[in-house]
Amino acid sequence: MADLISFLVLLALGYGFGQYFERRHYRSIRRREKELQDILILQSKILPATLQNHHEQFLVNGNVVISVDYFKRFVAGLRNLVGGRVTSYETLIDRARREAILRMKEEALASGAKMILNVKYEMCSIYKGRGRQIGSVEALAYGTAFNPTPATPATAPGGAEHGA
Which region among 89-93, 138-142, 150-154, 156-160 has the lowest average model confidence (pLDDT)?
A: 156-160
CATH class label, 2-151: alpha beta
Contact 84/116 with Cβ under 8 angstroms?
A: no
What local confidence, expressed as pLDDT, does residue 126 receive?
A: 78
Maximal CA-CA distance, the chain: 94
In 3-state terms, what secondary structure has residue 157?
coil
What does the alpha-carbon distance between residue 162 and residue 123 come to, in Å, rounded to a whole number? 52
pTM: predicted TM-score of the whole model, two decimal places: 0.76
What does the alpha-carbon distance between residue 136 and residue 129 come to, in Å, rounded to a whole number? 11
What does the alpha-carbon distance between residue 75 and residue 73 come to, in Å, rounded to a whole number? 6
Compare 78 and 11 and report the one with higher pLDDT: 11
Mean pLDDT estimate for the chain: 80
Ordered DSSP codes for 24-55: HHHHHHHHHHHHTTTSEEE--SSPPGGGSSSE
Which region among 4-13, 38-47, 69-78, 111-120 has the lowest average model confidence (pLDDT)?
A: 69-78
- The domain spans of the chain are 2-151
Compare 104 and 66 and report the one with higher pLDDT: 104
Average pLDDT on 119-130 reads 81
In 3-state terms, what secondary structure has residue 68?
coil
Alpha-carbon distance values, 116 to 3, 43, 45, 131, 145 (Å): 53, 8, 10, 40, 4
